[in-house]
Amino acid sequence: RRRSARVHGPARPDDRAPLVRRGLPRRADGRGRHRLQPCPLAARRHGTRAPARACLRHPGASAARRRAARRAPVTGLTLRAVEQRDVERVGDVNFVAFYRVAVAHGLAPGIGTPAESRGYIRHLLTIDPLGGTLAEEDGEVVGLSWVHPRGPVATIGPIAVDPRVQGRGIGRRLLERAIELGGRGVPQVRLVHESFNSQALGLYLHAGFRVVAPLLDLELPPGAALPPPSAPRTVVLRPPTSDDRVRLVARDARAFGAPRPQNVDLYLTRGRALVAESATTLAGYAFGIGFRGTGYVGSASADDPGLLLALVVTLAAELSARGLAVRTLVPAADRRLVDGLAAAGFRVFRACHYMARGGGTAPPPNYVLMNGDMM
């Protein structure tokens, strides 16, 4: 809107000069005009001269400088394979990273103690000895990543960076190395992302991953009294024998999308497994294992949703009776399974994202994931 012409017209007889207050700088003189500005932004508004050193400092200036120094690009970073001698240092970084981000969001950490984290790193070295990468800066471990190649499918996890050096591109370098180790031309790379971690979500989206499906990480308290599962009368639940291995590998590959016999062998030798058999047909299965106070149920698959629920509840009851808190990772859209586990005493531990890079779709029906890293 144009200004009125009266603003620029001649003065009227009754117009008076503005009152002058003693001690205040007037428009005609420049006394104190720059000294009154608290920061350079305001100084640029009123003049071109830089503010005097005696001016007030912006309250966030020093913190901003510290953050900028912490986020300086990494120049002396070394990436190398994780070895047995690195278990303690890598396990500690993994614990601190996941513990800190969970506590910052007011959530219970998924890894309870440094000892539990170190034990998990030893487990990863057993199942995928060539999949681990650590990041070193000045001889100090500052990050890690792990990839699990399974033919046409590779899964990634964990990826962790020491909170003291986050925001400097270390996580991106570790993710790129994990994708590279997964194999060139792999049709699909998957990972599970904790939905509250927006910083990690941005990293994955920028690397070409997309959110495919929501997941729920459910937990059953130790020693919980579970109702007896109701499996179909024509189905028998029993422990597997050596003759079941080939069928279990094939059934798990059908649900996962690729054969992973090393994972199946781990559960058959060191974990717990259940087989659902109808006559001579394998109608379903469930795997479980315990690590230092926490048990995990999955993968699990069945022809019928009711049978899948019976397998998961039966195996969870056995692990819970041993004093373990039992966790399982299920598709959030499988309402019958989620409602059945909630009725059995499971609670939501956290929400997650099933993310994929490349082809592929959401998890198949009547399927429970192996865990957050193996899927």
Q: How confident is the model at residue 334 (pLDDT cuts 50, 70, 90)?
A: very high
Domains annotated on the chain, with CATH: 76-186 (3.40.630.30), 219-368 (3.40.630.30)
- Ranked by mean pLDDT, the top range of 11-15, 37-41, 152-156, 184-188 is 152-156
Residue 339 reports pLDDT greater than 80: yes
Report percent pLDDT > 70 for the chain.
80
pLDDT at 229: 78
**In this structure, are residues 353 and 193 in contact, taking their beta carbons and an 8 Å threshold?**
yes
Q: How confident is the model at residue 49 (pLDDT cuts 50, 70, 90)?
A: very low
Instruction: Tell me if residue 351 falls in helix, strand or coil.
Output: strand
Q: Mean per-residue pLDDT for 77-90? A: 97
Q: Tokens for 192, please give them.
A: 């599970």
- Classify strands 281-291 and 294-302 as parallel, antiparallel or unpaired: antiparallel
Report which of residues 372 and 164 the model is more confident about.
164
Poorest-pLDDT segment among 223-227, 325-329, 365-369 = 223-227
pLDDT at 374: 86
In angstroms, rounded to a whole number, what is the distance separating the alpha carbons of residues 121 and 8? 78
Report which of residues 102 and 10 the model is more confident about.
102
Read off the pTM: 0.79
In angstroms, rounded to a whole number, what is the distance separating the alpha carbons of residues 166 and 248? 41
**In this structure, are residues 174 and 189 in contact, taking their beta carbons and an 8 Å threshold?**
no
- Classify strands 347-358 and 236-238 as parallel, antiparallel or unpaired: unpaired
Residue from 188, 154, 159 nearest 174 by CA: 159
Read off the pLDDT of residues 361-375 as tens digits, 9 standing for 90 and up. Answer: 789 999 999 987 888
pLDDT at 50: 46
Residue 354 reports pLDDT greater than 70: yes
Going 139 to 141 to 143 to 149, the CA torsion angle's sign is: positive
∠329-330-332 over CA atoms, to 5°? Answer: 130
Q: How confident is the model at residue 41 (pLDDT cuts 50, 70, 90)?
A: very low
In angstroms, rounded to a whole number, what is the distance separating the alpha carbons of residues 353 and 331? 9
In angstroms, rounded to a whole number, what is the distance separating the alpha carbons of residues 47 and 27? 13
The DSSP secondary structure of 257-305, one letter per residue, reads: SS--HHHHHHHHHHSEEEEEEETTEEEEEEEEEEETTEEEEEEEEESSH
Residue 54 reports pLDDT greater than 60: no
Q: How confident is the model at residue 38 (pLDDT cuts 50, 70, 90)?
A: very low
Residue from 310, 357, 358, 305 nearest 331 by CA: 305
Read off the pLDDT of residues 89-148 as tens digits, 9 standing for 90 and up. Answer: 999 999 999 999 999 999 989 888 999 999 999 999 999 999 999 999 999 999 999 999
Residue 235 reports pLDDT greater than 80: yes
pLDDT at 296: 95
